[in-house]
Structure 1
Amino acid sequence: MWIRQAAGRAATLCLVSGLAIGAGHANAEYPEKPVTLVVPFVAGGPSDKIARDVAESLRKTLGTTVVVENTAGAGGTIGTARVARAAPDGYTLLVHHIGLATAPALYKKLGYKTSDLAFVGLINEAPSTLIGKTALAPNNFAELRELISASGSKLNLANAGVGSASHLCSLLLQNMLKSDMTFVPYKGTAPAMSDIMGGQVDLMCEQATNSTPQIEARKVKAYAVTSAQRSAVPALSGIPTLIEAGLPGFNFTVWHGVYAPQATPQAVLDKINKALRAALKDPSLIKREEALGITVISDDRLSPAGHKKFFDDEVVRWTKVIKDAGIQPE
């Protein structure tokens, strides 16, 4: 009896040890196959462009193929839910923007919880620009502010859909101006930008990555940038911030981060974070991002803990903005 029990304990110990060694070996060998970066928005948008830039640099550091897949819909929540439910092995990752922090206040049913995701690190942040159709009379923000005060809901403000960066920026702007401009939602940035260039809508608060070419081509009027400091991009450097233009405390940047399913082994998360850090030091990536007015993250927000703290603060901030705007979760 004692011999059989001892043998059983020995067999169990060997099995547990074997599993531990096997898991450790699997983590040590990561990655053994292609890694997928899920972008919860359509191809060609700012998030897609950034993900593809990061994918190319990650490929060099991870030594494997990194594929970008677009899973769009419902303000980014469909793609996010896909990653939250994916196998926690490090082969399915999420690249998402500020909308991840606002989704809990905008949607009743998300199909996931924020706690279903592990934070890897922040990638970048970029300002938006407040732009208008060329036929608008105001030539600076002070004049525009007067027009907004006088016209109210007669002026319309385009956005790329509920939860989009342009929508969030518009909410913050309307909240701080205490105005009642009419929001005009579109299904994406491209049709909204097309209509503002065509003069069908008056204003838009859009990411600099999309608006800079139109500003350079004088297809739209630029009134302000939304970050705390002016942009270093030549085409935008002469445009004042909204703080300079008379809205103290206005600071809106669009940031992107990398996420994994929550139960992903720590050893794998560490490898992904290390690869992300190396990718964000890639001179070619930095050059491409800076040319668009984007700041590549190099501070503590690149760490999982720093990323999570920043994210939690953004959730608190935007929940208040959305609540103050009287928006009810869908």
Structure 2
Amino acid sequence: MKSIHRATMLAVGAVAVMTVQGASHAAAAAGAWPSKPIRLVVPFSAGGANDLMARAAAEGASKALGQPIIVDNKPGAGTTLGADVVAKSAPDGYTFLVSAAGVISNGMIKKTMPYKDEALVPVAMIGLAPSVIVVPADAPYDNLKDFIAASRKTPNGFHWSTAGTGSTPHFVEGLLETKYGAKLDVVPYKSGSESITAVLGSQVEATSEASIVVLPYLKSGKLKALADTWTQRISAYPDLKTATEQGFPDIKIAHWAGVHAPRGTPDAILDKMAAAVDTAMKNATTVERLKGMGIEPIGGTRASFVKFVSEERARLGSVVKATGMKED
């Protein structure tokens, strides 16, 4: 019996030593990170709001970390193509995803997903471009209240273009209908640019799109803005009131960009990456450049982004449930 007890104690001791050694190795790896270039997968085409935010974050974080950050555009399948690449990458701190609302909502509306939601973990907030509700320049209403009232009076409601099922404009439409009784008929397009073109040509009555996309049309008088759908006014277009200021506090949504990592990436690396992104988003030159385009730099801690993602999941989930939103 004494021999068995001694063997058991030796085995437990060996496991304890292995555990300590494993933790030490993980800590050492995190301490040495990064020792080579980092890959930042962007699940959007080059030139859009998320891509621009990604490149600004990559530039600033690269300086803070002392290693190149390579932006790799992998658009397709409503962001799931790029997200899947990252979800299945080694959790070693050398592959990250530039995340957006689709990382949260895709699993709610798609029939099948190539990866599980928990395969990706929040790291850092980069910034956001408030969604702006726009109508043709000659539309007979100038604010959100009049627009909603007019949609109710129209027999078949207003046509509302989106950038596809589950896009931010689709969620804005869902909030307007379920929370405030707007009468809207969704017309899905393949992209935000096609959706905006439909409004410019008066093929539909309205849509919402990222501030960076619509600002040139607003400043040239080709479109009329009814509301900013975020909680604060757009720095580059401060005269536009938010939906909350107009009495519609549930219209709270934006085109945001953050950073997610494969689950299992050491916490020390995640914290270091979050701090680097935060530093990038507080750089005066970067702030001025992004705000001038209609993008609001955010940054912050990893904990603050985890909180944001949790709240966003609850908010978007309630819209999906209320509207019955599903993949086409």
Alignment TM-score > 0.5, same fold: yes
Q: Find the partner of 1:306 among 304, 311, 322.
A: 304
Amino acid at match of 1:167: H
Amino acid at match of 2:173: S
Change (3 A) 1:14 1:214: same
Change (3 A) 1:110 1:287: same
- Aligned match of 1:64: 67
The answer to whether residue 213 in structure 2 is matched with residue 178 in structure 1 is no
Q: Secondary structure at the match of 2:156?
A: helix
Q: Find the partner of 2:104 among 101, 106, 109.
A: 101
- Alpha-carbon distance, 1:166 to partner: 1.8
- Aligned match of 1:238: 239
CA contact (8 A) 2:122 2:306 kept: yes
CA contact (8 A) 1:152 1:180 kept: no
CA contact (8 A) 2:87 2:119 kept: yes
Q: Deviation per CA, 1:6-37, whole angstroms, max 9, x where unpaired?
A: xxx9x999999987766554433322222111
Cα distance between partner residues in 2 of 1:54 and 1:66: 9
Amino acid at match of 1:278: T
CA contact (8 A) 2:45 2:75 kept: yes
Q: Runs (4+) of structure 1 moved beyond 6 Å?
A: 11-21
CA contact (8 A) 1:86 1:92 kept: yes
Greater shift after overlay, 91-100 or 236-245? 236-245
Amino acid at match of 1:111: P
Cα distance between partner residues in 1 of 2:69 and 2:34: 10
Change (3 A) 1:87 1:153: farther
Greater shift after overlay, 150-159 or 74-83? 150-159
- Alpha-carbon distance, 1:318 to partner: 1.3
- Aligned match of 2:295: 294
Amino acid at match of 2:144: F
Change (3 A) 1:227 1:22: closer
Q: Secondary structure at the match of 1:79?
A: helix
CA RMSD of aligned residues (A): 2.8
Q: How does 1:24-35 map to 2 (within 5 A)?
A: 24-35=27-38
**% identity of equivalent residues:** 33
Change (3 A) 1:271 1:178: same
CA contact (8 A) 2:127 2:258 kept: yes
Q: Find the partner of 2:117 among 114, 118, 122.
A: 114
CA contact (8 A) 1:80 1:94 kept: yes
Amino acid at match of 1:52: R
In the alignment of these two chains, the number of paired residues is 319
- Alpha-carbon distance, 1:211 to partner: 0.8
Q: Deviation per CA, 1:227-268, whole angstroms, max 9, x where unpaired?
A: 2333332xx222222233342443223332211111112232
Q: How does 1:179-328 map to 2 (within 5 A)?
A: 179-233=182-236, 236-297=237-298, 302-328=300-326
In structure 1, stretches of 5+ residues that fail to align are none
In structure 2, stretches of 5+ residues that fail to align are 1-6
CA contact (8 A) 1:134 1:199 kept: no
Q: Secondary structure at the match of 1:153?
A: coil
Q: Deviation per CA, 1:262-321, whole angstroms, max 9, x where unpaired?
A: 1112232232122122212211111122223433225xxx32233222212221221111
Cα distance between partner residues in 1 of 2:159 and 2:38: 42
Amino acid at match of 2:265: T
Cα distance between partner residues in 2 of 1:16 and 1:103: 37
Q: Secondary structure at the match of 1:137?
A: coil
- Aligned match of 1:148: 151
Cα distance between partner residues in 1 of 2:284 and 2:35: 27
Amino acid at match of 2:125: L
- Alpha-carbon distance, 1:88 to partner: 0.8
State TM-score, norm by structure 2: 0.87
Amino acid at match of 2:243: L
Cα distance between partner residues in 2 of 1:261 and 1:143: 46
Cα distance between partner residues in 2 of 1:15 and 1:137: 72
CA contact (8 A) 2:49 2:129 kept: no
Cα distance between partner residues in 2 of 1:154 and 1:24: 59
The answer to whether residue 129 in structure 2 is matched with residue 131 in structure 1 is no
Change (3 A) 1:258 1:143: same
Amino acid at match of 1:170: E
